[in-house]
Chain A
Amino acid sequence: MILDGKKAIWSDYQKKIADDDFYYVRSCVRQNFFPGAETTFLRIMREVLGKNVFEHPCHTSCSGIGYHSDLLPLETTMTVVARQFALMNESGYKNIVPSCITSFGLYTEIIETWHHFPETKEKTRKLLKEATGRAFEIPENLAHASDVIYHFRKEIAEKSKFKLVDKNTGKPLKVVEHIGCHYSKMFPHKGIGGAEFPFVLTGMVEDWGGEIVDYPERRHCCGFGFRQYLVSANRGYSMTSSRKKFESMQPYEPDMIITNCPGCPMFLDKWQYTLSELEGKVYGKEGKGIPVFTFEEVAGLVLGFDPWDIGLQVHQISCEPVLDKMGIVYNPATKYKGLKGKDLGIPKPTTMNL
């Protein structure tokens, strides 16, 4: 593996990312499954980096899961997205930041379609006007939330309290990075590092002290597949894809997985649990799973946020092995508590005690 050559290729794929005044649009998957990640992103942006981030209460899901489940006609999805842009325009913002990779890919696809087929943009203008009375302009800057954290990764490193380093050995943690397919597989030039060697997570990990694991199935899909996961009869597709990745990464003994798509960490987390129950197999060290993180959570840990404030208790695979290696002090007794220490009970144990 000639890493210098790879880095040279990465340098060919850079993108402009705004410095301030962001318009944030949320992810339906991340809100439901990793709510602490979105809270952490906004906390980092506003409280740590001092940036202005606006969220409009009237924005909705981008409708991307409906589009990629083939329920919604393209015209519907284009008009829903145009409405998101209209709300941003009316709020006085130009830099849109989706939390979701499906949204990022969808916005990119729609803007590219409007560029190459201007008649579709004009049709969307008419449909949006007819349906809502609104008008829209295309954002000046479109960057996924992981692009934005990548953009500020060195500032985060400067303010960091912990590094992605094993405090006992002094060695970098071995990190698997998993990029959501719709980040750059459709439009490589819109992602940092392109589709072949996306650098968006690698840049964060390396600047925060970790070491990237370069394993054979690094670019393979997690297996969401929209209808392939959502319908029980198809779900073997989803689990098989994740399993292929786990089998491929296991020999490299990764300490953790970092992701930028909201769905991928959910699947990589839950399918490890399912495989442990079905096959009695775990892929991490010492009989445990491999902890899976969102990029917001990793940034929060590096900055010294309380692990339970960023939401690590909602993961099925325990994250404590990584916290212990990084030297993060945490209180196990408060892991599953509510606000003001309210007792919420604890989850039932898994067969493999993950």
Chain B
Amino acid sequence: MNCGVCTAICPAAEIYNYDPRIICSTIQSKNEAEIEALLKSETIWYCGECMSCKTRCPRGNAAGLLIIALRSLSQELGYFVESEKGRQQLYLKRTIGQWMLEKGYCLYLEGVGTDLHPEQGPVWDWIQDNYRDVFARLGANYQGDGPGILRKIPDEAMAEIASIFKTTGAIDRFESIEALSAKKAKQMDMELDETMNNEYIAHIYSDTEKNHFNL
């Protein structure tokens, strides 16, 4: 299999210096040195996991699913901190990961402001300024008991989520991301503390020092 249909359809390949066909070939080569280099590279972080490759592959394979496996392995082996894009996992852990673990939602409006997401625009600013009233107007149950939009998920339910995270390895992965990121920040001579307001978090969230684009 080397037809490259996955690359032809891939939105990431159009934007980034990225070729899922080559990734599949590298994995199939079983060349340990090349695979280790791949796990430390920027390349594996370019995919958007839209899974268009799955639709088009004549053999029903999915480069996007291989990417999920590679990213998982890169984190297990501690290689993710060797790439600019890989280091972003700490930001994702401290937002998406913590919100899911602590609130039961992967996204939470109070963590998404136009300071970090200017593309959300002035209507989102208006919503954020008035969120309790706007959400009440639209039938939400913001932080309320019982069912409904953005309800407070009961403590006993959140205890079950915490137990699942502990039992299935998510907490171990989170702790590993934190520890390896702290080590990397030290190597890079950057400040990193437990908050979201520090030099390392700002750097991984915003900065691009390499040319990743397919230009």
Contacts and interface: CB of A to CB of B under 8 A. Distances in A.
A347 B134 contact: no
B122 A28 contact: no
B12 A185 contact: no
24 contacts: A38-B149, A57-B151, A60-B153, A60-B161, A61-B100, A65-B106, A70-B72, A70-B75, A71-B177, A127-B168, A131-B166, A131-B167, A181-B51, A223-B11, A225-B49, A226-B48, A228-B48, A234-B88, A273-B121, A313-B123, A338-B130, A342-B133, A344-B130, A345-B130
Given A61-B106, A231-B91, A231-B92, A314 B134 contact: yes
Contacts of A32: 105, 107-109, 112, 150
Interface in B87-127: 88-89, 91-93, 95-97, 100, 104-109, 112, 116, 118-127
B107 A79 contact: no
B90 to A, nearest CB: 10
Nearest to A338: B133
A344 B134 contact: yes
Given A58-B157, A70-B72, A131-B166, 9 more contacts: A31-B150, A58-B156, A60-B100, A74-B68, A74-B72, A76-B165, A79-B167, A185-B50, A221-B50
A73 B121 contact: no
A167 interface: no
Contacts of B51: 105, 181-182, 185-186
Given A227-B45, A233-B205, A234-B88, A128 B100 contact: no
Interface stretch (B24-32, B33-41, B136-144, B182-190): B136-144
Interface of B: 11-12, 14-16, 45, 47-52, 54-55, 62, 68, 71-72, 75, 84-85, 88-89, 91-93, 95-97, 100, 104-109, 112, 116, 118-127, 129-130, 133-140, 145-151, 153-154, 156-158, 160-161, 163-170, 173-174, 177, 204-208, 213
Contact of B15 (A38, A233, A236): A236
Nearest to B160: A132
B204 to A, nearest CB: 8
A339 B136 contact: yes
A98 interface: no
Interface residues of A, number: 91
A252 to B, nearest CB: 21
A338 B121 contact: no
Interface in A206-238: 219-221, 223-228, 230-237
A349 B167 contact: no
A95 interface: no
A127 B167 contact: yes
Given A28-B106, A315-B123, A35 B150 contact: yes
Nearest to A239: B119
A164 interface: no
A154 B170 CA distance: 45
Task: Determine which residue in B84, B109, B168 has the highest number of CB atoms from chain A within 10 A of its CB, and name it.
Answer: B168
Task: Determine which residue in A28, A132, A239 has the highest number of CB atoms from chain B within 10 A of its CB, and name it.
Answer: A28
Task: Determine which residue in B126, B154, B206 has the highest number of CB atoms from chain A within 10 A of its CB, and name it.
Answer: B126
A196 B9 CA distance: 13
A70 B68 contact: yes
B137 A221 contact: no
Contacts of A28: 105-108
A212 to B, nearest CB: 20
B15 A186 contact: no
B214 to A, nearest CB: 11
A270 B121 contact: yes
Nearest to B156: A58
Contacts of B85: 227, 234
A272 to B, nearest CB: 10
A29 B130 contact: no
Nearest to A224: B48
B97 A72 contact: yes
